[in-house]
A = this chain, B = another copy of it.
Amino acid sequence: MPTADHALLAPLANALPLVERASRMPRGFAAVGTTAGIKASGRPDFALVVATGGPVPAAAVFTPNRFAAAPVRLSRANLQATGGTSATCGYASAVIATSGSANAATGDAGDADQAAIGVAVAGAIGDEPAHVLHLSTGVIGTRLPVDKVVATIRRVVGEGLEYTDLALGQAAVALRTTDSTTKMASVTVDVPGADGGTTSITVTGIAKGVGMIHPRMATMLSIVLTDATASPATLRELLRGAAAVTWDQLSVDGDTSTNDTVFALASGAAGAASADENAAARTALARALQAVARDLARQQARDGEGATALITCHVTGAADDADARAVARAVISSSLVKAAVHGKDANWGRIAGAAGNALVAEAAVLEAAGLSPADAAARACQPAAVAPDRMRIAIAGHLAYDGPAGGPVGIDKGAAREAMAAEEVVIRVDLGLGEGTGEAFGCPLTEAYVRENAEYTT
């Protein structure tokens, strides 16, 4: 067991594969990103991803928001229809994403709009509407300009989608709303081949941020493509597990969107052994998915509305991992901690206060992270174990609070202030209670966030 010193100062052990911030296109897919005219700005607002060989296994994690948008509801229905047993996995041959209008809280008319878009995609690619998955993002309560979207579908399919990294990158650009960066992450790893030997699989995710982000049994808009082989149910299990320790540990502003969705599609085109049957293939796919999801979550936090830095909280010494993740999430979600980081103020008291207030995640998230249903039910929403006289806190490499040594250690606030000017401010909390570890990703609370969101629709 590491000593408290070691735990507090060393980064979390990270056995995940290397991530490249690139839009490597996995085999078996083609894509396009373009402008359909939804956004008044004229910026790209339309993305279409197609599985070129027809329907492939697909999995989803959706927002739990009761005000789920039309694209969320239609995608659920389609997965239910094609998978037969669940609204979160089935088969799909296309993902259509529009940006500029969320098509949320638009009533029956919004449902009809989204259905018409699905029919148009299916008609253009020669498949059924049930094999089309939907994403949309933007202002709540505005209708999508269906005619423009349908005309764009026909145009881009007529011109031909491309199997290129550039095309997938353009799709990522089109997902953006208030994002200042394009979010993409890619992992390529070796796995056993379906017919023996070795092959490589690629997992690439594209995503948007950057406001109304506080995933809760969900994520924000992301599309993850892979040429690995997995059944819908396995793909869902691995995707949900990855989200539970990455996107579910991300907060920009505490609001969970009406449109949060992540889709994963697995084309099987790499000729890899199936993750359903081959343990090495399963582990490799699971780790690649987690690495991609984690890196996208970090990009999303760093680009949070008004953010000037990435805040990460690493927790060690927790009674277990669920407690560690709860404490990390509480710290990066605290408005007071976020404002203090903005002010480069090593205000460890607020970190202590937030940690002392941490509640373990909901049962669904705990189950996704590997707890048994009974354990998840017993732990859900319960306080995390925190003992002030065991806890230690370091901010940007500076020890600030040392419970076993009596508490405050007289941190050098000037030196800490300089260290907090970095792109990434790391807050480490060692709870001194056990071996649980966890991390979470957030961003500073700034005047720019307030300005941007006080004036968003006016």
Q: Please give the residue numbers on chain A whose beta carbons come within 8 Å of chain B beta carbons, in ascending order.
A: 64-68, 102, 104-110, 139-142, 211-212, 216, 253-258, 333-336, 339-340, 342-343, 345, 347-350, 352-358, 362, 380-381, 383-389, 401, 403, 406-408, 413, 417, 445-447, 449-451, 453-458
Contacts and interface: CB of A to CB of B under 8 A. Distances in A.
A66 B406 contact: no
Given A67-B386, A216-B357, A352-B258, A450 B453 contact: no
B340 A454 contact: yes
Contact of A253 (B216, B336, B340): B336
A362 to B, nearest CB: 7
A66 B388 contact: yes
A353 B407 contact: no
Given A105-B388, A408-B141, A454-B343, A66 B336 contact: no
Contact of A407 (B110, B333, B334, B406): B110
A354 B455 contact: no
Contacts of A384: 66
A258 B345 CA distance: 19
Given A105-B407, A453-B340, A335 B253 contact: yes
Contacts of A403: 107
A407 B107 contact: yes
28 contacts: A65-B353, A66-B355, A66-B358, A66-B383, A66-B387, A105-B348, A107-B388, A140-B353, A141-B348, A253-B335, A253-B336, A254-B333, A255-B334, A255-B350, A255-B353, A256-B357, A258-B353, A335-B453, A339-B449, A339-B450, A339-B454, A340-B457, A342-B450, A345-B458, A349-B457, A413-B457, A446-B450, A450-B450
A277 B101 CA distance: 61
Given A140-B352, A339-B449, 6 more contacts: A105-B388, A141-B348, A212-B350, A256-B353, A343-B454, A347-B457
A64 B140 contact: no
Nearest to A387: B66
A343 B107 contact: no
A222 to B, nearest CB: 19
Contact of A108 (B65, B255, B406): B406
Nearest to A334: B255
A342 B407 contact: no
